[in-house]
């Protein structure tokens, strides 16, 4: 099923539960061992569910205002990078066709920016996820904290289907001339 909204994802999860089917989640399909496909089950495909919004005045879970980018579950880095001002860096994937919120992020998210800014999951501010009972949760460092922790390194599709993610943007260092 090609989803276009959280409502579609919830319907897919409930369908799978009702008919006791295998569920697989695919964003971009960048998986060498084929975990983003399955036979005899339902594949939830997030491609095209890729709106991106940059907000320099995002309020995080602690009430602090930080620059951030929010991307839907099917967004790829090629959807994100052009929207970010040159004054910011995002800790993201080197391959522009990799999903922002899928296996890359949920697996930890190593980046060329990691030595100075940490893993990609260290920049996660909030995650919207549809769990396997069809419930939509928003997980942050202060709300649904166990889910927030689990989604930041537990592996893609392990705890639910991520439909949106907000990432802190980091100020780009000045250039030495």
Degrees, nearest 5: CA angle 33-35-41: 140
Degrees, nearest 5: CA angle 146-148-149: 65
Q: Are strands 136-140 and 161-168 parallel, antiparallel or unpaired?
A: unpaired
Neighbours of 56 (CB within 10 A): 13
Q: What is the pLDDT of residue 30?
A: 67
- pTM, to two decimals: 0.91
Task: Please state, in angstroms and rounded to a whole number, the distance separating the CA atoms of residues 83 and 90.
Answer: 11
On whether the CB atoms of residues 105 and 154 are closer than 8 A, the answer is: no
pLDDT per residue, tens digit, the chain (177 aa), is: 999 999 999 999 999 999 999 998 888 776 666 666 777 889 999 988 999 999 999 999 999 999 999 999 999 999 999 999 999 999 998 888 888 998 888 888 888 888 889 899 999 999 999 999 999 999 999 999 999 999 998 776 678 999 999 999 999 986 655
Encode 126-152: b = buried (16+ Cβ within 10 Å), e = exposed: bbbbbeeebebbebbeeebeebbebbb
């Amino acid at each position: 099923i090609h989803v276009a909204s959280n409502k579609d994802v919830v319907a897919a999860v409930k369908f799978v539960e009702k008919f006791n089917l295998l569920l697989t989640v695919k964003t971009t399909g960048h998986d060498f061992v084929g975990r983003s496909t399955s036979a005899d089950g339902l594949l939830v495909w997030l491609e095209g569910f890729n709106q991106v919004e940059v907000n320099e005045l995002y309020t995080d879970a602690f009430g602090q205002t930080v620059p951030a980018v929010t991307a839907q579950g099917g967004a790829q880095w090629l959807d994100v990078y052009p929207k970010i001002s040159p004054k910011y860096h995002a800790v993201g994937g080197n391959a522009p066709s990799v999903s922002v919120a899928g296996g890359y992020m949920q697996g930890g998210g190593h980046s060329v920016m990691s030595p100075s800014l940490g893993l990609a999951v260290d920049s996660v501010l909030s995650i919207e996820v549809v769990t396997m009972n069809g419930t939509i949760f928003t997980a942050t460092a202060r709300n649904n904290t166990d889910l927030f922790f689990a989604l930041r390194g537990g592996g893609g599709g392990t705890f639910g289907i991520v439909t949106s993610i907000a990432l802190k943007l980091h100020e780009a260092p000045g250039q030495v001339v």
